[in-house]
Amino acid sequence: MSKKIKVAVAISGGIDSAVAAYLLKKKGYDVTAIFLQLTDSKPNFSPLSIAKFLDIPYVKFDLRNVFKQAVIDYFINAYLRGMTPNPCIICNQKIKFGLLLEKAKRMGFDYIATGHYARKCWDEKSRRYLLLRSIDKEKEQSYFLFALNQEQLSHVIWPLGDLSKIKVKEIALSIDLPNINIKESQELCFIPKGDYRYFLKQYIKSDYEIGEIINTKGEHLGWHKGLWYYTVGQRHGIGIPEATPYYVRALNVKQNRLVVAKREELYSSEMIVKDVNFIAFQKLQKPVQAIVKVRYQHPGTRATLLPLTDNKIKVVFAEPQFGITPGQAAVFYKEDICLGGGWISQQINKLINEETNKDS
């Protein structure tokens, strides 16, 4: 009899990871539930209870210190640099598919699995693993996984990639999974109440407080209460009474100035993306046409990817895009294939010959 393939499933306490573990066990894998304690807060439902319900072994890793250094510190420092961070991508890259994968391999596991809605496949022509969008386009999460490398992808299983969220709930109901009606949290796991400004205020000193609000002409319009209160594209809460509303255009950290503009000035024709990780190929050698998502909820837009030096690329949009936000991820697609992605460094508005938020 052949030896069962050992899979470590990251169990969060939610429906998706529980159903992922159930499906793998049903297929004959040797499944172990792994709970990653990343913060002091408790999950909505006990991962241990889910492991007992599924009758699978349970292991807990206390990664609070590592998570603080890799994810929370990144989150805080990004705001201090005038960026808008995406900690879930960093967590996937460095914690779930980084440290967890390393620990799992040392423990003798062949794969790790999560409840992400994404797919992968082996492409014989390129001899590379490809990251694909999930079947469920509303729950699709490949955007958060663009930073994974070939080694990580080779040891990953996503059991929910070919399923819709509705089907996953049906499976959970069919096996009487406990607490199936728990409301899914849309908040960051380390900011349970969702108030990131209150969270940041505990870490950021008053030196980063009040500064000047100016328009793109340099004219004084008011005072801001700390640059980390704001993000590019923000309209509400700026504190400038005006018949035609202002939007946040850029955060000038060096001068502690908040730059605001009318909506039409927030459209960027190009952007620079740094720390690029390509999955479908090793390196961008020539211009490539792609669909680019500039934030998770962005529907995607046609653009040309142009190679630069120092692991950067230029993205030229077919049509100018609103609210390009430095610090956010830009992810590139060809149909369902995720080509890769990187981090937005600069927004470029050719119409007003302006480059903003250059991250040096």
The answer to whether residues 97 and 89 touch, using CB atoms and an 8 Å cutoff, is no
Burial 201-219 (b: 16+ CB within 10 A, else e): beebeeebbebbbbbbeee
Annotated active-site residue 189? The verdict is yes
List helix spans (H) across 69-145.
73-80, 87-91, 100-106
Annotated active-site residue 338? The verdict is no
Which of 88, 121, 189, 338 is catalytic? The answer is: 189
Closest residue by Cα to residue 11 from 131, 87, 100: 100
Residue 82's φ and ψ, nearest 5 degrees, are: 80, 20
Burial 146-184 (b: 16+ CB within 10 A, else e): bbbeeebbebbbbbbbebbbeebbebbeeeebeeeeeee
CA dist 24 and 208 (Å) reads 49
Residues forming the active site: 91, 189
